[in-house]
Structure 1
Amino acid sequence: MTSEQLKIRTKQYSLLIINLVEKLPVTTASKIVAYQIAKSGTSVGANYRAVCRARSDREFISKMEIVLEEADETLFWLEIISEKCWIEKDSIDAIWKEGNELTAIFVSSLKTVKSKI
């Protein structure tokens, strides 16, 4: 997968997260979770764009670790939403699957670059 394809994919993931947030119930707790997942989920795509501008392997690693951290945090918030039964499981499963696939890609990219230095 090229970096351009991954840029598109991470942006689409951000949109999936935004759509999910818009479906959450409006309670004190869900507002907090909505804010957190909106931040982490959209940060995946935004920070991946920064990865693409890295000027060195070390900078790539540093920025990619941020992307990985945001992706993992988003998976955590998806678990919370699922366990609270705020959204139908089927709706969350597709986003969960995409988040896991993106996380696997980020981990693989990190391992590849780290093995070079």
Structure 2
Amino acid sequence: MRNDKLSVQSMDFAISIINLVKELKLNKETIISNQIGRSGTSIGANIREAQYAHGKADFIAKLQIALKEANETGYWLELLFKTDYIDVETYRALDAACANIRVILIASINTAKGNKDN
């Protein structure tokens, strides 16, 4: 198990998304739950893949994919909130966690792009 901040946060977020998907499916919501389930768990999967990248370009590409997935997940969260599938507290908590992951991903990508030694 990885213990770096980004890996831990993305794993915790994926667990929250899986639990959300379970709840949504109990309420017979399948369209958005399938989408958010894929994008929300893909963030951590791409971060994990980046840790074994085949060089700096591959590392950056995997983190950029994770960032795109995080952005997509933010969209699905907003849509779930605006269609009353999740309450404001759930939305704010998950959106804040997702936004925090995006901030770390952006910083990591910028750092990796700035490191010319690799």
TM-score normalized by the length of structure 2: 0.88
Percent sequence identity over aligned pairs: 33
Deviation at 1:79, TM superposition (A): 0.6
Higher helix fraction: Structure 1 or Structure 2?
A: 1
1:71 alignment counterpart:
70
SS at match of 1:55: coil
- Give the Cα–Cα distance (whole angstroms) in 1 for the partners of residues 77 and 58 of structure 2: 29
Closer, same or farther in 2 for the Cα pair 1:61/1:3, shift >3 Å?
farther
Distance 1:5 1:86 in 2: 30
The aligned counterpart of 1:12 is: 12
Q: d(CA) in 1 for partners of 2:92 and 2:20?
A: 11
Partners of 1:66 and 1:3 in 2: CA distance: 21
- Report the Cα distance in structure 2 between the residues aligned to 1:3 and 1:57, rounded to whole angstroms: 21
CA RMSD after TM alignment: 1.5
What per-residue deviation string (whole Å, max 9, x for no partner) do you get for residues 52-91 of structure 1?
A: 1113111111111111111111001001001001111101
Shift of 1:3: 6.3
| Contact 1:3–1:52 (CA under 8 A) maintained in structure 2 | no
TM-score, normalised by the number of residues in structure 1: 0.89
Query: Where does structure 2 lack aligned partners over 5 or more consecutive residues?
Result: none
Gaps of 5+ in 1: none
Give the Cα–Cα distance (whole angstroms) in 2 for the partners of residues 51 and 11 of structure 1.
14
Matched residue, 1:43: 42
What does 1:64-103 correspond to in 2, within 5 Å? Answer: 64-103=63-102
Q: Which residue of 1 aligns with 2:31?
A: 32
Moved over 4 A (4+): none
